[in-house]
Amino acid sequence: MDYETLTQTMRRLALEAGDRIMEIYEADDFDIRAKSDASPVTAADEAADALISAGLRAAFPEIALITEEQADTHDLDVRDFLIVDPLDGTKEFINRRGDFTVNIALVENGVPTRGVVYAPAKDRLFYTDASGRSVEETGAFDKQTPGATKAIQVSDPDSAALMVVASKSHRDQATDDYINRYAVKDSKSAGSSLKFCLVATGEADFYPRLGRTMEWDTAAGHAVLTGAGGRVLRLDDLEPLAYGKPGFANPFFVATAPGIDLSPV
């Protein structure tokens, strides 16, 4: 794999998709439909999916591609693949809260190794560089020429005063019960894969998810967190979260900086 070309391509496609999403987000109104699983989908999801899928297939025709919006067509037994959530946080998008992202990742041998997370309404762009190290880019986000970047690194957590981030739309009693096992100094809520990025930058120490997610929801954020020194672990046995599972559904998990004495669920 040419990781330099991959990085440039994923970054560009995420930015282009973000522009298309924001055109629809800033419109007076947009259509909302329900998918077969009753989750919402908008024209922005579909437009971003079409743009990213076409770009990835043109650049990397030899690699399997999995996207949320084409999930019904996936019946793959693969360990290496590209995986896309063109608009993660559709509920945040619909409610105009801004916490939505474009997620593109490469999974190799069941592990997310490269990824980009772009939050167009927040002007935040995170990705793994060609070496796999995670950075946050600042500036004008030119499509062809990356701007200034800074390396990001997870926190060195204080187990007596932890900072936790949890889902904005899906926080429930089970999540609160898990969080209450720890000495938490403060907590914040965020939508979409931004939660992984807040752990990756050290703005939070850990993010527990006791609810349904799919691999396209988590792969890009997982890659960014790993490249910043963090981990994503299953909550049942605290083993690394793997990808390419049947149906692409995830178990409960925790995204975390090292050094926290975690307990399984």
Q: Could you read off the pLDDT of 182-227 as tens digits, one per residue?
A: 999 999 999 999 999 999 999 999 999 999 999 999 999 999 999 9
Query: Does residue 147 share a domain with residue 26?
Result: yes
Domain housing 238: 162-256
Tell whether 15 and 146 lie within a shared domain.
yes
Shared-domain flag, residues 252 and 135: no
- pLDDT value of residue 65: 93
Residue 265 belongs to some domain of the structure: no
Task: Decide if 146 is inside a domain.
Answer: yes
Are residue 183 and residue 225 in the same domain, yes or no?
yes
In a domain, residue 90? The reply is: yes
CA atoms within 13 A on the CB side of 157: 29
Would residue 36 count as lying in a domain? yes
Count of the separate structural domains present in the chain:
2
Q: Is position 264 within any domain?
A: no
Poorest-pLDDT segment among 105-114, 167-176, 198-207: 167-176
The CATH code of the domain that includes 228 is 3.40.190.80
pLDDT number for residue 247: 87
Whether residue 211 sits in one domain with residue 86:
no
Helices (H), the chain: 3-25, 43-59, 90-94, 173-179, 194-200, 215-227
For 231-264, what is each residue's pLDDT tens digit? Answer: 999 999 999 999 999 889 999 999 999 999 999 9
Specify whether 124 is located in the same domain as 170.
Answer: no
Give the burial string for 27-66 (b: 16+ CB within 10 Å, else e). eeeeeeeeeeeeeebbbbbbbbbbbbbebbeebbeebbbb
